[in-house]
Amino acid sequence: MADQTQFSLHDDSVVVIVGSGAGGGTLANELAQRGVKCVVLEAGKHYTPDDFENDEWAMFNKISWLDKRISAGGWHHTRTYPNLPAWIVKGVGGSTVHWSGVALRFQEHDFRTRTTYGAIEGANVLDWPITLAELEPYYDLAEKKMGVAGSKASGLPPMPPNNHYKVIEAGARKVGYKNIVRPAASNSKVYDGRPACQQIGFCMQGCKIGAKWSTLYTEVPRAQATGNVELRPESMVLQIQHDKDGRANGVLYVDGKGRRQLQKARVVCVAGNSIESPRLLLNSASGLFPNGLANSSGQVGRNYMNHATAAAVSIHKGPVYMYRGFDIAAVVADEVPLDTRRGFVGGYYLEGLALHLPYTAAFMKPGGWGRDFASALEMYDHMSCVWVCGEDLAREQNSITLHPTEKDQYGLPVPIVTKTYHENDDRITAHGLVQWRKLSEAVGATRVIDMPAYPASHNMGTNRMSAKAGDGVVNKWGQAHDVKNLFISDGSQFTSSSAANPTLTIVALAIRQAEHIAGAMQRREL
Amino acid sequence: MRNLNDNLAPGTMRVLDRRPTLQRRSFLRGGGLGAIGIAVIPAAGIAATKDVAARQSFRHLGAATGKTLVRMARDLYPHDKLADGFYLEAVAPYDAAAAKDKGVKSLLGEGVQDLDRRARQRHGVPYAEMKTEDERVALLKDIESTPFFKKVQGDLVTGLYNNKKLWPLFGYEGSSWQKGGYVNRGFDDIDWL
C-alpha cells in the first residue's frame, strides 16, 4: 500500500466507505475527485490481474465470498446450495472483478412499479423516490466511465459478435425477435488507458488484461492517486457506532492481523453488497436503535431481490465453442417491456452467457448423473447457454436476518438469506425457458436442457429507497431516513429489481450520490 | 474436420479434433497413473494395468474397494471413449483421504460394502463383477439418497470434469490469455448457420 495517503484512526473528518466494488469504489473516486477525503474499508484481499487465472474453480475458490451463509426459504437454493445463497466477490473491486460486464439501463416504469403494477398480493411493491429522467444524466456518465461498448456516451463501437452470439441471434431472429443488444462494459477498442478485449473468454474469472471495467483497476487506483483516499483491504467491518444524538461517528473493524480498530468518521457510506450491508446495520443495533441502525421502519434486510432467474443449455447441430470470446453473447431484449397478456407483470432478458466445461458439469444439472447427463456433456462444444434474467418482486419476508446463535470467524452472527419466489417470478422464468427453447430449436438444436438458477449474483433491495420513512431505509439520495450522515451506496438501495443487471445502475447512483454528499459537506449539512 | 455425428458440409471454422491420441511417451512411462493418464488404449490392453494400478493406488481402502469405486465412477458418468485412467485418477485421492480421516474411510468402505451386499442379493456377485450397466445403474438409484453416493457423485463433478487432461476430449481448450485469447483463433468463424 505504498504511495497512498494514510489517515489517522482519530481523524473524524473523513468519509468512511465500506466496500470497494461498483458502489463503494465509484463513490470513493467521485468523492476524491471533488476533494473529499475517504477511508475505504474492504473486507477482502487486494487481488490484482496477476492473481487471475483462466480457471473457473481456481478463481471461484480464490475470490468468492465464502464466509458461512445459510440459504433458507422456498427457493431451491435451500436444498442445492444451502451455504451459497449468493455468488459475489470478497476482494478489492468487489463483484466488479467477476461480473459478466453487461451494462443495461432500467426502463422508465421500473422506477414506478407500485403505480404501474398496482398492489400485488403477496408482494411489497413500492415506487422509487426518483425517476428515470433524474438518473439519465448519470447513466450517461456511468456508460462513459465504464466504457460501455455500443453506447453513445462512450463512443465505443459494439463488441464484435462471436460464435455464441451468432447462434443465439440467428435463432432469435427466426422466431421474430428484433431487439438484440449487447451493451458490454468491455473495451471493443483501446479505451481509458486499458487494452481492447482479446476475446479471452474468462471474464467471470477476472479480466486478465483489464479490458473489462472493474473498480479494481480504474476507480480505486484513481481515487488513491488524488491523495484523498486510503484503501484498507482485509478490513472486515463489525459495527457502525454513533453518538448520543444518533449520529454515526465511527466504524469498528477487524484488520488483516486480526486486531480491532475504530476509525472515526464524519460520514459513513455502506456498500458491502446486499447481504453484508443490511447485516452490518443489524449488527450495529444499540440502545437507541434496538432493531438495527437506521431501522425504525423494520425494512433493513427485507425485500431481498435477486431477479427471477433460470438457465439452460442447448445442443446444436454443429460446434459452437461458446467459451471462445467475451462471456456475454447475444442479449434478447424483446421480452423486457411490460405486457401483461403474457400472464405476468415485469419482463426479462434472455442473456447468452458462456459457461466453461467445469461449470457446465456442475450447474447443468446439480446432482445429475448417468448416461443422459454424460451424453449431454459430451456435446459441450456444441452448446449455447442462456441466463434468463427477469424482474422479481419485493417481498417483505424475503430477507437477510442474523442467526440467533451461530457465529462466523469474526464473531459476527451468520447471515440467513431467506427467499421464496412469488408466483409472478416463476411465471417469468417459465416463459423465458420456453422462449429460449423455441429460438434454439429454430436453428436446429437437438436438445435443450433447462437448468436451475445458479447462486444469486444480483442481490438488491435490502436497504431500499422510499419516499416515506416507514416504507424503506433510505431516501432519494441513499441517505438513511433515521441517520443523516449514514448512506447506502450499493444495490441494496434498489426499490425494484427491474430485469436489468444491477451494476450500471449502482454506478450511476454512486456518481449522483457523490455529487450530493460533496455538496452537502461543503454546505456543512453533513 | 467435423465431429462424427455432425451432418454438415466441410467449412472454415476452427474445429478441434476430439479423438483421443495415443501419447507414446506417457504410455511407455510404466506403471502407476501416469501411464494411462491421457491415452485411449483398447480395453483389452488396459485390463492388466487396471488391476495393477488399483492395487498400487488403494493401499488404505484396499484394491477391491478401489476397483468398485472406479466402476461406480464410470457408471455415474459413462463416457465410453474415456480411458479408465480418468475415473481412476478421479477416485484415487480417496485413498490418502481415508488414511487421514477415519470418517472418510468408513463412509467409503461401508458404502462399497452396502453396494456389494445389494449386488450379491440381487445378482449373486459383487458390484464390480455385474455385467449389465442398466442393472448396476438400478442399484445406484437405490442408494441415491445416501451420504456415500452423494459424496462420490459430487466429487466426480470436479474430479472428472476439472481434469485438464480430459478437456481436449470434450472440445474445450482451457486457459486462453497466454495464447492471446481467441481474437485471432476463430472466435467468430462459425460457418454452419
Q: Which B residues 16-55 touch A at CB under 8 Å?
A: 16, 18
As a whole number, the mean pLDDT across chain A is 97
A471-519 pLDDT, tens per residue?
999 999 999 999 999 999 999 999 999 999 999 999 999 999 999 999 9
- With CB atoms and an 8 Å threshold, state whether A381 touches B182: no
Inspect the interface and report whether the beta carbons of A357 and B153 lie closer than 8 Å: no
B137 vs A165, A324, A370: nearest CB: A370
Q: Name beta bridge partners: A231.
A: A40
Do A308 and A348 contact (CB within 8 A), yes or no? Answer: yes
Paired sense of beta strands A486-488 and A267-270, if any: parallel
Question: Average pLDDT for residues A39-58, to the nearest whole number?
Answer: 98
pLDDT of residue B38: 37
User: Is B79 at the interface with chain A, CB within 8 A?
Assistant: yes
What's the CA gap between A130 and A127, in Å, rounded? 8
Q: Confidence band (pLDDT; 50, 70, 90) for B5?
A: low
Contacts of A275 (CB under 8 A, 6+ apart): A69, A85, A86, A88, A400, A415, A417, A459, A462
Instruction: Please name the helix (run of DSSP H) or strand (run of DSSP E) that holds residue A142, with its range, or none.
Output: helix A132-146
| Per-residue model confidence as pLDDT tens digits over B19-70 | 776 544 444 444 444 333 333 344 433 444 455 555 556 999 999 999 999 9
Taken in order A153, A156, A157, A158, the sign of the CA dihedral is negative
Q: How confident is the model at residue B22, as a pLDDT? A: 55
Q: Find how far residue A131's CA is from the centre of its chain.
A: 20
- Indicate the residue of A199, A371, A382 with minimum beta-carbon distance to B187: A199
Yes or no, beta carbons of B183 and A362 under 8 Å apart:
no
List the Cα angle A50/A52/A56 in 5-degree steps: 165
| CA distance linking residue B26 with residue B35, whole number of Å | 5
**Structural Rg of chain B based on CA atoms:** 19
Parse chain A into domains and list their residue ranges: 15-522
User: What residue type is assigned to position A154 of the chain?
Assistant: S
What nine digits make up the cell of A331?
A: 442479449
Contacts of A258 (CB under 8 A, 6+ apart): none
Closest partner residue to A361 (CB to CB) among B140, B157, B186 is B157
Reported as a single tens digit per residue, the pLDDT across B138-163 is: 999 999 999 999 999 999 999 999 99
Query: What is the predicted pLDDT for the residue at B56?
Result: 59
CA distances from A404 to A76, A407, A415 (A): 23, 9, 10
CA dist., res. B111 & res. B145, Å (int):
12
B183 interaction partners in chain A (CB closer than 8 Å): 197-199
Element (H, E) at A488: strand A486-488
Which cell goes with B121? 442379493
Q: Is the CB of residue A493 less than 8 Å from the CB of residue A478?
A: yes
Grid coordinates representing A338? 411490460
**ipTM summary value:** 0.94
Q: Chain B, 58-77: which have a CB under 8 Å from a chain A CB?
A: 76-77
Backbone angles phi, psi at A18, to 5 degrees: -95, 110
Neighbours of A423 (CB within 10 A): 14
Grid cell at residue A75: 427457493
Query: Comparing C-alpha atoms, which of A477, A463, A460, A467 is closest to residue A521?
Result: A477
B79 contacts A374? CB cut-off 8 A: yes
Q: Which residue of chain A comes nearest to B74, CA vs CA? A: A370
* pLDDT over 50 at A34, yes or no: yes
Q: HSE of A250 in the Cβ direction (CA atoms, 13 Å)?
A: 14
Q: What is the rounded distance in angstroms from the CA atom of residue A398 to the CA atom of residue A243?
A: 31
Query: Do residue B77 and residue A324 have CB atoms under 8 angstroms apart?
Result: no
A132 DSSP β-pair partners: none
Per-residue pLDDT, averaged over A257-274, amounts to 98
Query: Residue A371 is nearest to which of B78, B178, B192, comparing CB atoms?
Result: B78
pLDDT at A159 over 60: yes
Instruction: Return d(Cα A462, Cα A302) in angstroms, integer.
Output: 5
**Could you tell me the pTM of the whole model?**
0.94
SS3 per residue for chain B? CCCCCCCCCCCCCCCCCCCCCCCHHHHHCCCCHHHHCCCCCCHHHHHHHHHHHHHHHCCCCCHHHHHHHHHHHHHHCCCCCCCHHHHHHHHCHHHHHHHHCHHHHHHHHHHHHHHHHHHHHHHCCCHHHCCCHHHHHHHHHHCCCCHHHHHHHHHHHHHHHCCCCCHHHHCCCCCCHHHCCCCCCCCCCCCCC
State how far the alpha carbon of A229 is from the alpha carbons of A28, A30, A38, A100, A421, in Å. 7, 11, 5, 28, 41
**In Å, how far is A143's CA from the nearest CA of chain B?**
24
CATH for A15-522 is 3.50.50.60
Q: What Rg do the C-alpha atoms of chain A give, in angstroms?
A: 22
Q: What is the pLDDT of residue B7?
A: 65
**What number is the average pLDDT over the span A134-156?**
98
Whether B179 contacts chain A with CB within 8 A? no
- Alpha-carbon distance of A332 to A104, in angstroms, equals 12
The predicted structure's pLDDT at residue B30:
41
- Using the Cβ of B147 and the Cβ atoms of chain A, whether some distance falls under 8 Å is answered with no
Q: How far apart are CA A68 and CA A284, in angstroms?
A: 19
The pLDDT tens digits of the residues spanning A396-405 come to 999 999 999 9
What are the φ and ψ backbone dihedral angles of A95, each rounded to 5 degrees?
A: -75, 0
**Among candidates A198, A370, A374 on the partner chain, residue whose Cβ is nearest the Cβ of B180:** A198
Cell numbers placing B24: 507414446
